[in-house]
Amino acid sequence: MRRGEKGFTLIELLVVMAIIATLMTLVAPRFFQQIDRSKRVVLEHNLNVIRSAIDHYRRDRITGPYSLDELVEAGYLRQMPLDPVTNSRDNWQARTDETGQIIDVDSPSLARQEQIHDEAF
């Protein structure tokens, strides 16, 4: 700064911007990995909630539900949980036994998340 002028020179601003850009290149990849990891954790939690509701339904009624909508209609779930990867509530895949009763539920997003996780590490 010369002659009492206030402000920064162009060189000072460029140096600060270069430092910020360098720090961003270090932080940004970790940030995006954490987003994928958090989606995976939420997905696994939502699967556990649905599986628990199926177990409670089966325990109370001696028979399993024939569709996932029965869990909502019977009050075991307020609504179907959201699949955080696809942002959809109807993405769940129910596995049934020979009588058509749901015995387990899965998400196609989980396989995709596992593939992303394996590629990252």
Q: C-alpha distances in angstroms, 49 versus 46, 88, 101? A: 5, 16, 18
pLDDT at residue 114, as a whole number: 56
Per-residue pLDDT of the chain (121 residues; tens, 9 = 90+): 456 678 889 999 999 999 999 998 888 888 888 888 899 999 999 999 999 999 999 999 999 899 999 999 999 999 999 999 888 898 899 999 999 999 999 988 876 555 555 555 5
SS3 assignment, position 6: coil
Q: Determine which helix (DSSP H) or strand (DSSP E) holds 66, and give its type and residue range.
A: none
The region that residue 6 occupies, defined by phi over 0 for left and psi between -120 and 50 for alpha, beta otherwise, is beta
Task: For residues 60 and 21, give the distance between their C-alpha atoms in angstroms, rounded to a whole number.
Answer: 58
- The model carries a pTM of 0.70
Candidates 75, 70, 68; CA nearest to 50 is 68
